[in-house]
């Protein structure tokens, strides 16, 4: 058995209210990560898949942000309600959920239109 098959990094960064970039976990409760942990346990994936707390993943404008390795699947605007389908479809079936994907053109792109939209706002 491999040590791990996947790591899910869940941004739990907290910034002060009104910060220009916002943050993924304004309440600082790591509720999204806890939802992943529970769902993984329910699916029997606990020993092979880790849901790790992450600091800022630099995709704040798309947050709450989650990245799943080893495939490097980036999901944005993730809610607790999305967690069961991320586990069942992406982790178990290997399916990418198009409605949650952060566009490739936005990743590591300081000129991402979403960033500029917020800076201009
Ligand atoms: S605060 Fe979550 S990606 Fe930056």
Query: What whole-number percentage of the chain has pLDDT above 70?
Result: 94
Domain that holds residue 111: 6-120
Please write the tens of the pLDDT for every residue from 33-49.
999 999 999 999 988 99
> Mapping DSSP to helix (H, G, I), strand (E, B) and coil, where does residue 35 land?
helix
**46 located within any domain:** yes
**1 located within any domain:** no
CB 77 within 8 A of CB 103: no
Q: How many domains does the chain have?
A: 1
Q: Whose CA is nearest to atom 1 of ligand 1?
A: 23
**110 located within any domain:** yes
**112 located within any domain:** yes
The pTM assigned to this predicted structure is 0.92
Q: Which atom of ligand 1 is nearest to the CA of 64?
A: 2
CATH number of 36's domain: 3.40.30.10
How many whole angstroms from 1 Cα to the centroid of ligand 1?
33
């Amino acid at each position: 058995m491999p040590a791990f098959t996947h790591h899910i990094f869940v941004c739990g960064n907290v910034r002060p209210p009104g910060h220009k970039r916002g943050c993924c976990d304004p309440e600082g409760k790591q509720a999204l990560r806890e939802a992943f942990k529970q769902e993984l346990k329910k699916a029997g994936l606990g020993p092979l898949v880790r849901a790790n707390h992450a600091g800022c993943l630099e995709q704040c404008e798309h947050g709450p942000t989650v990245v799943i390795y080893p495939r490097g699947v980036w999901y944005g605007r993730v809610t607790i309600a999305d967690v069961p389908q991320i586990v069942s479809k992406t982790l178990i079936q290997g399916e990418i959920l198009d409605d949650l994907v952060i566009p490739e053109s936005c990743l590591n792109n300081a000129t991402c239109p979403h960033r500029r939209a917020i800076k201009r706002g």
